[in-house]
């Protein structure tokens, strides 16, 4: 007689990675409400107790998924730009990397910015956010040193730029703005961001 899934022994090469992959697929196709450790276990063929080895509850899974999203976003931002680029070119490269991630993973990006996080995960997530914003902050500070950007707190200026990029991402996720149109007009967007709307 076949054993029930409850009695099935834990056996999986990389359970944590498999759970995150399955969770992201569920998030994309059905939303956060459909996520369940028991359902994910069934999906990847392990006992329903096996996910508890890595995630104490659903919130811990969501936090890990958000952290994984930040790690991938930060990798994309780190790879954006190249030596010798102008400020505008480098800013556009960073914006394109961010918006590209947002277009590919809108549900994951929403989860990454969700307010509710387990206190045990908050420090890790805060550090991941700081790292992603750090790419822009360093660019701003270096441009200030060269006299290309107004003086002021680099972090506040970065927050303004990040809000602009995230606004585009939200418009795309809400189907108010076509993704291809937004990406095609990104050069102009960054130009307006850097130079403002005053006649030149």
pLDDT in tens, 46-63: 887 887 788 888 888 999
Q: Could you give the CA distance from residue 131 to residue 94 in angstroms, rounded to a whole number?
A: 13
Domains and CATH numbers, the chain: 1-55 (1.10.10), 59-195 (1.10.357.10)
Q: Could you give the CA distance from residue 102 to residue 12 in angstroms, rounded to a whole number?
A: 31
**How does the average pLDDT of the chain come out, rounded?**
86
Burial class (CB in 10 A: 0-12, 13-18, 19+), 173: middle
> Quick one: pLDDT band at residue 13, thresholds 50, 70, 90?
low
pLDDT in tens, 134-180: 888 999 999 999 999 999 999 999 999 889 998 998 898 888 889 99
């Amino acid at each position: 007689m076949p054993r029930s899934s409850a009695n099935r022994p834990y056996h999986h090469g990389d359970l944590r990675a498999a759970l995150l992959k399955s969770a992201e697929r569920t998030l994309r196709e059905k939303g956060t409400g459909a996520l369940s450790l028991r359902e994910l276990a069934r999906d990847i063929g392990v006992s329903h107790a096996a996910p508890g080895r890595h995630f104490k509850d659903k919130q811990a899974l969501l936090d890990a998924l958000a952290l994984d999203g930040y790690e991938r976003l930060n990798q994309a931002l780190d790879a954006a730009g190249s030596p010798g680029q102008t400020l505008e070119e480098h800013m556009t490269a960073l914006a394109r990397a961010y918006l590209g991630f947002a277009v590919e993973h809108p549900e994951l990006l929403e989860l990454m910015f969700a307010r509710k996080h387990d206190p045990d995960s908050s420090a890790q997530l805060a550090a991941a956010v700081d790292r992603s914003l750090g790419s822009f902050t360093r660019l701003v500070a270096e441009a200030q040193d060269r006299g290309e950007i107004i003086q002021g707190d680099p972090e506040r200026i970065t927050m303004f730029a990040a809000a602009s990029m995230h606004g585009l991402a939200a418009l795309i996720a809400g189907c108010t703005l076509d993704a291809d149109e937004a990406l095609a007009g990104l050069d102009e967007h960054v130009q307006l961001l850097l130079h403002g709307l005053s006649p030149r």
